[in-house]
Chain A
């Protein structure tokens, strides 16, 4: 197949999905008596400096969340529990950092390790249940999400301090804060120092996946478990490793904001990041670059929709419909395109065979 055609086919699915999502969103808006024109005017307007910085911050966080989900997805392991792992890990990291066992950045680094370990441990429960008792990770991680919610609320009540309406852990010492940097000159909103974690994790994911034995075994298990077993992959071990790794990356999600803005874990912690990460991973087909694009799209939509209520009198919740439809239509579009590609290849092979046979007959004649 020619390069041009390959690029065209590759771009077809996301474009198709965007069109479907735009149509569905517009239809829903029309049905509810809102104006689709105003909606698109607000959403497609050029983001101002503050929104732009927010998009960078949010997409870095969503990228980490998407990566965490993608590690499992690449081997058909459905870690729906990123949300719970992120919550447990962020609490553990914040609590550890707040105790100030270590000075300065040593404390920061140690807290990040603690958070990763906590996330991995929480995911490890599901891994253990899967390999020893055969419990599906889909169900167990969902249950663990709910358990994490109550567990962290309990721990916060036991070890946190009441501040007005919320309960928070001990404030992290100032020497351990990671400074934020200015992206747009003259803008007060700044980019978290730890957004580089997303970059590091993304590069590591890409390298591990394509350049190491572990990555190969991970992909092999995902594409055909029986083939992987036949080539000597220990699938049970892979399940445990992939799950632990996924949980460890989930532990990173809360770090940029913890060390850049909140400096403590409070009961106001943002919810839903883990679930959005799943959507982001699906949108990006679990590829390092794809997830980055998915994270950008979601962060853009989320930021651009927030003024909807004020400027167009439309509930910003509509954007969740757009996001969900994009995800579902993109997976359908990829499947349709894949089938089309298979048919093209079959036609090509048949064509070549026919030509060769014709040439053979000429020679024999």
Chain B
């Protein structure tokens, strides 16, 4: 039932807090250097073009928001597979309210719809102690049905709409930082090693940045502060680690879990809203496209932490953005990046003394490298798989070092045995 098999999770402590932030920046810099090198070797300039990076951001944010929903829920000890359904409800709420009352009411509506899904999940798992996965699966079924039915009711008669999609919707305002973005664009065009790539990142973040993107980033960092630096956060996390101990200290575990799971729906709904009004131009059936699940995977990859889940989302978002902007050729260039990464991992495993794993990783890396050398492009059907394969690969490589909240997914009854 747990999201990472329990036998692999030692009840040890979290990683030391010191230097984690610095290490994340170091990883990010390493990734940038690798991407830049691949860009120079393959000549695929689109790899770090502003357009690709912007597509990557737009693809990453909904995944990060779903992951943020998962973070809230699972930190309070409730596994939330229903994120996908809450996201679907969010796309519907955004479609309806944005059409009639504009972007901001649309965002509130999407969050409200998501919250309804979250509250339903909380009712089933917290109040009635139903298995978390079972409840989540049921919510996904209900949400897909409700959305498909109500979409026809809401949008079928509207001009530009239809039984499966809304008319095109207003977009949230966009921010451009004058001066900075132009300067960065100038440097990015030069094609210099690392420097231009960094400039492209700056340019992507300062030109036509959606307000919703900014809001999402604030939600992620705000969550980090709230959950790790306030008494409220400590109590909420204690419900996910040791609910009976929390209860003995006077924490109302039911209330915290209920709040957390409902908020989980709010963020998933926000993610749905982002999909409907930023990533595309309106509601459509099937718009969420498994992003709720990918968000959950990103959160697991990020070790149940806000910074980690953002990194995971950027990884998935980037592979999606590369596919959207550059198609088969760009994804083909990513193969080289993957090969380099795998070789690096093999060396690290060898250094740590895992000879068999290192050999296996090396063989896979050689296979990927051969694929890169032997072909020029990747068929469209395969590029569609990119985010999913990336999710599987990353989880397979990372899952051994992860530690989920100790009581995640376990039923809790007040006054039960600890």
Contact = CB atoms under 8 A, between A and B. Distances in A.
Interface stretch (A6-14, A85-93, A103-111, A142-150): A142-150
B392 interface: yes
B146 A146 contact: no
Interface stretch (B54-62, B334-342, B394-402): B394-402
Contacts of B120: 328
Interface string A132-176: 011110111011111101110110010000000000000000000
Most buried by A among B5, B133, B150: B5
Contact of A315 (B3, B7, B152, B300): B152
Interface stretch (B40-48, B208-216, B380-388): B380-388
Contact of B130 (A147, A154, A321, A331): A331
A323 B145 CA distance: 9
Interface stretch (A60-68, A274-282, A346-354): A274-282
B145 A129 contact: no
Given A139-B300, A142-B290, A336-B128, A327 B133 contact: no
A136 B384 contact: no
Nearest to B153: A32
A317 interface: yes
Contacts of B144: 320, 324
B142 interface: yes
Interface in B126-156: 128-131, 133-135, 137-139, 141-146, 148-150, 152-153
A136 B293 contact: no
Contact of B385 (A134, A135, A151, A325): A151
B160 to A, nearest CB: 19
Contacts of A315: 148-149, 152-153, 163
Most buried by A among B2, B149, B152, B296: B149
B5 A139 contact: no
Contacts of A139: 3, 293, 296-297, 300, 391, 395
A315 B147 CA distance: 12
A269 interface: no
B379 interface: yes
Contact of B396 (A33, A129, A320): A129
Contacts of A201: none
Contacts of A80: 137
B149 A136 contact: no
A234 to B, nearest CB: 13
Interface in B213-268: none
Nearest to B391: A143
Contact of B148 (A143, A317, A322, A332): A317
A143 B153 contact: no
A318 interface: yes
A278 B137 contact: yes
Given A143-B391, A325-B142, A331-B134, A135 B399 contact: yes
B1 interface: yes
Contacts of B153: 32-34, 315
A143 B391 CA distance: 8
Contact of A147 (B8, B143, B389): B389
B347 interface: no
A136 B297 CA distance: 10
Contacts, number: 144
B1 A154 contact: no
B294 to A, nearest CB: 8
B81 interface: yes
Interface string A60-83: 000000000000000010101000
Contacts of B138: 279, 282, 324, 327-328, 331
Nearest to A134: B8
A160 B394 CA distance: 33
A143 B296 CA distance: 12
A133 B129 CA distance: 29
Contacts of A312: none
B34 interface: no
B137 A282 contact: yes
Interface of A is mostly: helix
A275 B145 CA distance: 13
Given A80-B137, A320-B145, A321-B145, A136 B4 contact: yes
Most buried by B among A135, A154, A321, A336: A135
Contact of A321 (B149, B296, B392, B395): B149
B130 A332 contact: yes
A72 B388 CA distance: 23
Contacts of B146: 28, 320-321, 324
A134 B9 CA distance: 9
Contact of A150 (B134, B290, B385, B391): B385
Most buried by A among B120, B145, B297, B396: B145
A135 B141 contact: no
A140 B137 CA distance: 15
B345 interface: no
Nearest to B390: A143
Contacts of B400: 133-134
A146 B130 contact: no
A146 B148 contact: no
Contacts of A133: 395-397, 399-400
A80 B1 CA distance: 12
Interface in B5-44: 5, 7-8
Contacts of B287: none
A32 B2 CA distance: 38
B315 interface: no
Contact of B5 (A130, A146, A324): A130
B10 to A, nearest CB: 12
A272 to B, nearest CB: 9
A229 B134 CA distance: 24
B392 A129 contact: yes
A138 B149 contact: no
Most buried by B among A130, A151, A331: A331
A278 to B, nearest CB: 6
Nearest to A318: B149
A282 B134 contact: yes
Given A144-B388, A318-B145, A336-B128, 19 more contacts: A32-B150, A32-B153, A134-B7, A136-B300, A138-B133, A139-B3, A139-B391, A140-B395, A142-B290, A143-B392, A146-B290, A146-B388, A149-B384, A150-B381, A279-B138, A320-B145, A321-B142, A324-B142, A332-B124
22 contacts: A33-B153, A129-B392, A134-B7, A135-B5, A136-B2, A136-B3, A138-B133, A139-B300, A143-B297, A146-B290, A149-B384, A151-B381, A282-B134, A315-B148, A315-B163, A320-B142, A320-B146, A323-B145, A324-B141, A328-B120, A332-B130, A335-B128
Interface of A: 28, 32-34, 76, 78, 80, 129-130, 133-136, 138-140, 142-147, 149-151, 153-154, 157, 275, 278-279, 282, 315, 317-325, 327-328, 331-332, 335-336
- Top 10 closest A-B pairs, CB basis? A320-B145, A324-B142, A154-B381, A134-B8, A324-B141, A328-B138, A317-B149, A317-B148, A321-B145, A32-B153
